[in-house]
């Protein structure tokens, strides 16, 4: 599905640079969120136009956040290529991000579902609050996992919640219990995705070849870093911050055995979260109408994909 154009006004021909920037940005993306929308749409029997609108909305919001995020973090690379702000200037990167968010609002409001517009605006607001708060903990190596959870709930999990809830809102299904349940499931998926992504930094299940200790070297203590450094004294944390490679990091923690133990403990608490997710799915199965109950079987393996990084056969 080509999500670039929902309305004829998207990416007009007289703005070729904007169009090129978009193509660069989206070309190597996995489009996971759009795929999740496709799964939801299939089970909820949403028509093609609504599915396209939802897929475009979530990918535009996500990519707008990446455009702004790269500039805020001064990250030179995105998906292995020069980030938009380095290739097209920071000004263009900001404008392109704003443009994506503006198109989201134009297209969503033309659809006429005010609840969907309102919910999407809330999610964008949450995302920005999360970005703002995350920026405030850069260089803070004593931040706690609980504090990072709050940030990731706003920044990462909000988009997962949207993927699960928006298709139901588009279908005018506003049941309180249903949406609370989807909120919980989306939060768990978002947290798991973020924590798994943070583990890549420590070369755990790093099948994508992500740079090792990239977050730490950029001055950001991610969720695993915050978990592993609990209870360490200031000297050990100083040593950890100066780590040039994984060996240094493990030494700062107390050796490779301690590092492995911390990874296992981290996996254990996240497995508990996965169990909770499965519990919520059982409840979801009970309240969904028979026609869309099959959705649950497609949502079940998401934790394998997002946390354990197992690709679906």
The 10 Å CB-count burial string (b at 16+, else e) for 17-28 is: ebeebbebbbee
Residue 10 has what DSSP assignment?
S
Work out which of 9, 89, 118, 136 binds another protein, going by CB under 8 A.
136
Judged by CB, which is closer to another protein: 153, or 223? 153
- Catalogue the E-assigned strands of the chain: 77-78, 81-82
Judged by CB, which is closer to another protein: 16, or 175? 175
Residue 185 beta carbon to another protein: minimum distance, rounded to whole angstroms: 10
Asked whether position 118 contacts another protein by CB under 8 A, the answer is no
Total residues at the site for another protein (CB under 8 A)? Answer: 29
Residue 293 beta carbon to another protein: minimum distance, rounded to whole angstroms: 18
Residue 207 beta carbon to another protein: minimum distance, rounded to whole angstroms: 28
Work out which of 45, 176, 311, 313 binds another protein, going by CB under 8 A.
176
Judged by CB, which is closer to another protein: 109, or 271? 271
Asked whether position 178 contacts another protein by CB under 8 A, the answer is no
CA distance 98 to 102: 6
Judged by CB, which is closer to another protein: 60, or 277? 277
186 neighbors 163 (Cβ within 8 angstroms):
yes
Residue 38 beta carbon to another protein: minimum distance, rounded to whole angstroms: 25
Q: Which stretch binds another protein (CB under 8 A): 1-9, 87-95, 182-190, 204-212?
A: 182-190
Work out which of 124, 143, 200, 253 binds another protein, going by CB under 8 A.
143
Work out which of 59, 70, 184, 197 binds another protein, going by CB under 8 A.
184
Judged by CB, which is closer to another protein: 16, or 139? 139
CA distance 178 to 189: 16
Asked whether position 147 contacts another protein by CB under 8 A, the answer is yes
Asked whether position 177 contacts another protein by CB under 8 A, the answer is yes
Asked whether position 218 contacts another protein by CB under 8 A, the answer is no
Q: Which stretch binds another protein (CB under 8 A): 45-53, 151-159, 200-208, 240-248?
A: 151-159
The single residue listed with the structure tokens 């200037």 is 89
Residues in contact with another protein, shown as a per-residue x/- string from 243 to 282 under the rule CB under 8 A = -----------------------------x--xx--xx--
Chain residues binding another protein by CB under 8 A are 133, 136-137, 140-144, 146-147, 149-151, 153, 157, 176-177, 180-181, 183-184, 187, 191, 272, 275-276, 279-280, 283
């Amino acid at each position: 599905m080509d999500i670039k154009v929902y309305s004829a006004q998207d990416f007009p021909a007289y703005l070729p640079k904007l169009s090129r920037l978009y193509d660069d940005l989206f070309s190597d993306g996995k489009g996971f969120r759009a795929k999740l929308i496709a799964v939801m749409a299939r089970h909820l029997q949403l028509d093609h136009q609504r599915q396209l609108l939802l897929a475009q909305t979530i990918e535009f919001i996500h990519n707008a956040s990446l455009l702004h995020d790269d500039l805020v973090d001064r990250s030179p690379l995105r998906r292995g290529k020069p980030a938009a702000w380095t290739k097209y200037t920071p000004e263009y990167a900001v404008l392109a991000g704003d443009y994506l968010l503006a198109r989201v609002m134009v297209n969503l409001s033309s659809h006429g579902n005010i609840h969907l517009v309102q919910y999407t605006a809330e999610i964008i607001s949450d995302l920005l609050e999360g970005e703002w708060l995350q920026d405030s903990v850069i260089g803070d190596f004593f931040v706690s996992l609980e504090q990072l959870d709050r940030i990731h709930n706003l920044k990462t999990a909000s988009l997962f919640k949207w993927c699960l809830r928006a298709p139901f809102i588009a279908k005018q299904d506003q049941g309180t219990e249903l949406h609370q349940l989807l909120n919980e499931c989306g939060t768990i998926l978002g947290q798991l995705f973020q924590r798994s992504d943070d583990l890549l930094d420590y070369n755990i299940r790093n099948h994508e070849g992500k740079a090792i200790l990239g977050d730490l070297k950029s001055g950001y203590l991610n969720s695993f870093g915050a978990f592993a450094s609990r209870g360490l004294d200031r000297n050990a944390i100083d040593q950890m911050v100066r780590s040039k490679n994984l060996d240094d990091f493990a030494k700062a923690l107390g050796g490779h055995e301690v590092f492995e133990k911390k990874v296992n403990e981290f996996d254990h608490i996240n497995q508990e979260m996965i169990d909770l997710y499965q519990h919520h799915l059982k409840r979801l199965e009970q309240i969904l109408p028979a026609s869309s109950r099959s959705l649950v079987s497609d949502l079940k393996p998401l934790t394998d994909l997002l946390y354990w990084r197992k690709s679906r056969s």
